[in-house]
């Protein structure tokens, strides 16, 4: 019988004034009892809208039913057959806009906490030493994947499961892409990313690190090595700036650099070979998940942190959960505010920002109300560091030396819904196809492209 409680089963968390001084995971995860209780909230609709809201098509009611029966092994098998990275997507997927956003239980209460239950099942399987690494017999075909972020890892896992020999080329010295260098430890522990990568290796995926495609090898040279198809999942790692005076001062970071230093290089640890300054007052410009990640990292390094965002809270693009956690941790939100310049001291270090008040006008192309400056409202904000979290664009390096590959106006690799590009045998997905995509969208694109690659190679005979 369904559990008709109106609200989600709460998930234990670190207390805000404890966690904002450490990099340990904030959410502690469900116990078995809590996961079973939450799974029983699913009413098993005849036409489950939650499945249509999931980019990778997880049969959500089926895995929830197994959890409700306390058959966690069967639940994991269902999950992992549809999703190569369940422990990751259960933590960082924007469920509120996808599967949970379509849950019928959300009409008169809160939706079923699908992501939390998914996380529990994946973690339970890991604790039991269970990993779904079953693959079809090798079919004799080779595919290359550029980039080991969520799109690349998902595509590699899907192809390996089909029997392909897959090599992932990663530019960094550690696999995981944005999962490793971008998302902080307190949201996604790196041991979990490493565990999921290790499961792919057990499936036969070969991962070559320190391989900058476009510099060490070009895509045509990859084909010359006997690969029959190439999937571009190089991400959108090129930072954007405002082009305002003072952006060249010492203490102005892109969020990419700041987060990479902290997450990949462990700069927050004492004695780190790549240390980072522990600033006193930090201004983070932007309102997305990356801005929240950067702000929460700066807070943990001891700073007073201000989020500076030119629209109101209603327009914040970050996940509601991340905004909630940031507020709990003491981060200050300066909304309807926009920087116009950055000032420095006599040594060229950041000293302050000059900002202007904004008001909301008519909606723009994004559907959000356009921010309009309020004349004469300029004021200064003291800061010794400014982190620009304004979005990213694709890094063109991976496609260097590849003629005939079409790009979009924004510099993304042009691909259709199946991931096909203008070059035979070349596919793109996730961040490469859409710019700065979310993790789960990247995973979805990776899966679709994996199917397309399979169809392409089969068509060759």
- pLDDT, tens digit, for every residue of 23-50? 999 999 999 999 999 999 999 999 999 9
The domain that contains 72 carries what CATH number?
A: 1.10.1060.10
Q: How many domains is the chain built from? A: 3
d(CA 328, CA 15): 9
Query: pTM higher than 0.85 for the full model?
Result: yes
The span from the CA of 99 to the CA of 417, in Å, is 20
| Tens of pLDDT, residues 347-404 | 999 999 999 999 999 988 878 889 999 999 999 999 999 999 998 877 788 889 999 9
386, 407: one domain: no
Tokens of residue 16, six digits: 């805000």
Q: Show the low-confidence residues of the chain (pLDDT under 70).
A: 1, 430-445
Q: Does residue 167 sit in the same domain as residue 31?
A: no
Check whether residue 306 and residue 165 sit in a common domain.
Answer: no
| 370/412 same-domain check | no
pLDDT of residue 38: 98
**Residue that is last in its domain, among 127, 154, 174:** 127
Verify that 410 and 319 share a domain, yes or no: no
Looking at the fold, whether 249 and 230 belong to one and the same domain comes out as no
Range of the domain at 420: 142-237+394-460
Strand order in the sheet with 142-146: 206-208, 165-169, 142-146, 229-232, 426-428
334 and 271 within one domain: yes
Domain of 366: which CATH number?
Answer: 3.50.50.60
């Amino acid at each position: 019988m369904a559990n008709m409680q109106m609200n989600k089963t709460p998930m234990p968390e670190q207390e805000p004034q404890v966690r904002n001084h450490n990099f340990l995971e904030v959410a502690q995860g469900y116990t078995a009892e809590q996961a079973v209780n939450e799974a029983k909230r699913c009413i098993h609709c005849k036409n489950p809208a939650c499945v249509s809201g999931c980019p990778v098509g997880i049969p959500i009611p089926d895995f929830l039913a197994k959890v409700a029966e306390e058959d966690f092994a069967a639940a994991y098998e269902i999950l992992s057959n549809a999703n190569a990275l369940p422990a990751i997507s259960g933590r960082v997927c924007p469920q509120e806009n996808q599967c949970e956003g379509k849950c019928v239980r959300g009409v008169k209460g809160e939706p079923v906490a699908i992501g939390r239950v998914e996380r529990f099942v994946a973690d339970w399987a890991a604790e039991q030493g269970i990993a779904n690494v079953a693959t079809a017999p090798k079919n004799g075909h080779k595919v290359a994947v550029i980039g080991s972020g969520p799109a690349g890892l998902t595509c590699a896992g899907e192809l390996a499961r089909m029997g392909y020999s897959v090599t992932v080329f990663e530019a960094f010295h550690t696999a995981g892409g944005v999962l490793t260098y971008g998302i902080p430890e307190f949201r996604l522990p790196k041991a979990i990313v490493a565990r999921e990568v290790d499961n792919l290796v057990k499936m036969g995926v070969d991962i070559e690190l320190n391989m900058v495609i476009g510099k060490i090898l070009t895509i045509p040279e990859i084909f010359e090595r006997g690969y029959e198809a190439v999937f571009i999942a190089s991400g959108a790692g090129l930072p954007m700036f405002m082009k305002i005076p003072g952006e060249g001062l010492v203490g102005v970071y892109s969020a990419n650099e700041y987060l990479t230093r902290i997450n990949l290089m462990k700069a927050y640890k004492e004695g780190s070979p790549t240390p980072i300054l522990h600033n006193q007052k930090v201004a983070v410009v932007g309102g997305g998940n990356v801005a929240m990640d950067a702000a929460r990292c700066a807070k943990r390094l001891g700073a007073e942190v201000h989020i500076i965002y030119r629209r109101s809270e209603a327009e914040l693009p970050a996940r509601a959960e991340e905004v909630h956690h940031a507020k709990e941790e003491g981060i200050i939100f300066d909304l309807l505010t926009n920087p116009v310049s950055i000032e420095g001291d006599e040594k060229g270090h950041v000293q302050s920002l000059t900002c202007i008040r904004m008001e909301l006008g008519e909606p723009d192309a994004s559907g959000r109300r356009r921010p309009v400056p309020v004349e004469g409202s300029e004021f200064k904000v003291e800061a010794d560091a400014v982190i620009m979290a304004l979005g990213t664009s694709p890094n063109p390096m991976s496609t260097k030396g590849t003629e005939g590959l079409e790009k979009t106006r924004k510099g993304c690799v042009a691909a259709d819904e199946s991931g096909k590009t203008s070059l035979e045998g070349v596919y793109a997905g996730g961040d490469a196809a859409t710019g700065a995509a979310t993790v789960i969208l990247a995973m979805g694109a990776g899966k679709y492209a994996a199917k397309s690659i399979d169809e392409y190679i089969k068509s060759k005979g």
